[in-house]
Amino acid sequence: MFIDRVKLHVKAGKGGDGMVAFRREKYVPLGGPSGGDGGRGGNVIFEADSNKTTLLDLRYQKHVNAPNGGNGKIKKMHGADGADTIVKVPLGTIVKDASTNQIIADLTHNHQQAIIAKAGKGGRGNFRFRTSKNTAPRYSELGEPGEERDVQVELKLLADVGLVGFPSVGKSTLLSVVSKAKPEIAAYHFTTIVPNLGMVQVPDGRSFVMADLPGLIAGAAAGKGLGHAFLRHIERCRVIVHVIDMGAHDGRDPLEDYRVINEELSAYAYRLMEREQIVVANKMDLEGAAENLKRFKAAYPDLRVFETTTIIAEGMEPLLYAIADALAHAPMFPLIDEEEETMEGVVYKFEEEKPAFAVHNLGNGRWLLDGEGIERAFKTSKIDSDEDAMRFARKLRMMKVDDALREAGCQDGDIVTLCNVEFTFVE
């Protein structure tokens, strides 16, 4: 079964908690704090695997979780790091954030890896907090939670050449003639319901990968027919071969077919019309094909048209040479619209710093604090004792949360909510 799109929930491992411990050994008075740090959680990593051809393995795996890190131990011993969870996907897989539709990773090379969900750091043990003024701290940190998100995983075939055209124009037959691929071929529309790949060998020794896609119809880019579900597979193609039924076997006009398919390609994203296009006038053995070809050349005099009869493999060699020549100078079309990094080393980019927290007035003496920085500080802080609570309060003062609440109008006795936990504001 060919599956090229799945939605997953990925969750990286939580970091292990730091430990509160003290060294207690014979003949070692006042040994001091010895609580170790927690281990890092496991990352969720996607890896491209050339042995995979479909996303079928992920269709029934809706959740991908990485293990948590181990907690810190006595004698300053570090907790075990969580093992990374590696998900094998086919070459050509794109991973997008389901909420923003932003591309996280584009895996095009064998064994290429990308971290999709980043693991949480381990919490520090009480040994890390010893100072000359506080020689016996009785608090430690909790491990950071791992990154959690919904992702859309899409497979976009790694083909050099894509065959496009209306149903039953001979695309599958063409692929079967020029390669060892065995697509299903029949005399009815939409025989091809999944993309097919074939390795094509040119007589002069050159080779390329060709993809046969389900037939397009008018409105395909807007979601009509079968072809719209597979247009993504020609996004990586550098050359498009437009196959036209010049014999008008189904009663369609070849000129109109060419116009409609190009409109669908131009309506789709990723600059498909910028790719070099080769036109194939197929089924030239049918009655009326020669007349239609004459009309077609008159309407599009600048196009180079290759006459073929794929069912008897006629006219294939000139077509293959033309495709190989086109590929020799056809540029790559990256799917990620970003500036290519041309220099080696670290590239620093200016990004406006996000505020650590925001204050929201809920009315009736109730306030809400949120923000990535303050939520991380809360989730890594224990509040099991007075000493823990005092330390967390000092951390909030250093972040100037108290000042921000006062400026917003928070009064003594108001309720402040942070991560679904309520606190009372005290002046």
Amino acid at residue number 411? Q
Q: Known binder of ligand: residue 347?
A: no
Can you count the helices (H) and strands (E) in the chain?
Answer: 8, 18
What is the C-alpha to C-alpha distance for residues 117 and 97, in angstroms, rounded to an integer? 11
Q: Known binder of ligand: residue 190?
A: yes
Q: Known binder of ligand: residue 343?
A: no
List Cβ neighbours of 218 (8 Å cut-off, separation of 6 or more). 224, 260, 263, 264
The model's confidence at residue 39, banded by pLDDT at 50, 70 and 90, is very high
Residue 319 has pLDDT above 50, yes or no: yes
Residue carrying the six token digits 């890390």? 128
Instruction: Supply the mean pLDDT for the chain.
Output: 84
Q: Known binder of ligand: residue 214?
A: yes
| Mean pLDDT along residues 303-331 | 89
The model's confidence at residue 46, banded by pLDDT at 50, 70 and 90, is very high
Q: Known binder of ligand: residue 331?
A: no
Answer yes or no: are the C-beta atoms of 16 and 68 closer than 8 Å: yes
Residue 412 has pLDDT above 80, yes or no: yes
pLDDT 10s digits, 141-151: 999 999 999 99
The model's confidence at residue 313, banded by pLDDT at 50, 70 and 90, is confident
| Mean pLDDT along residues 374-381 | 88
Q: Known binder of ligand: residue 413?
A: no
pLDDT 10s digits, 288-303: 899 999 999 999 888 8
Specify the range with the lowest mean pLDDT, choosing from 135-144, 171-180, 207-216, 277-286. 207-216
Residue 94 has pLDDT above 70, yes or no: yes
- 171 three-state secondary structure: helix
Residue 239 has pLDDT above 70, yes or no: yes
| Mean pLDDT along residues 349-361 | 78
Strands of 156-260 (E only): list them. Answer: 161-164, 196-201, 207-212, 239-245
List Cβ neighbours of 355 (8 Å cut-off, separation of 6 or more). 371, 373
State how beta strands 113-117 and 63-65 pair.
Answer: unpaired
According to the per-residue pLDDT averaged within each range, which of 21-30, 192-201, 252-261, 328-337 is highest? 252-261
The model's confidence at residue 58, banded by pLDDT at 50, 70 and 90, is confident
Q: Which residue segments constitute the domains of the chain, with CATH numbers given?
A: 1-155 (2.70.210.12), 161-329 (3.40.50.300), 358-424 (3.30.300.350)
| Mean pLDDT along residues 89-100 | 89
What is the C-alpha to C-alpha distance for residues 171 and 158, in angstroms, rounded to an integer? 18
Kindly state the percentage of the chain with pLDDT values over 70. Answer: 87
Q: Known binder of ligand: residue 349?
A: no
pTM (2 d.p.): 0.71
Q: Known binder of ligand: residue 212?
A: yes
Radius of gyration of the chain (CA): 31
Q: Known binder of ligand: residue 52?
A: no
Q: What are phi and psi of 28, to 5 degrees?
A: -125, 80
Q: Known binder of ligand: residue 193?
A: yes
Q: Known binder of ligand: residue 140?
A: no
- At 94, which helix (H) or strand (E)? strand 93-97
391 Rama sector, left if φ>0, alpha if ψ -120 to 50, beta otherwise: alpha
| Mean pLDDT along residues 389-396 | 86
pLDDT 10s digits, 217-233: 655 444 444 455 566 67
According to the per-residue pLDDT averaged within each range, which of 21-35, 225-239, 332-346 is highest? 21-35
Inter-CA distances, 90 with 50, 52, 111, 257, Å: 6, 5, 10, 34
What integer pLDDT is reported at residue 220 of this predicted model?
46
Q: Known binder of ligand: residue 167?
A: yes
Q: What are phi and psi of 293, to 5 degrees?
A: -65, -40
Q: Known binder of ligand: residue 311?
A: yes
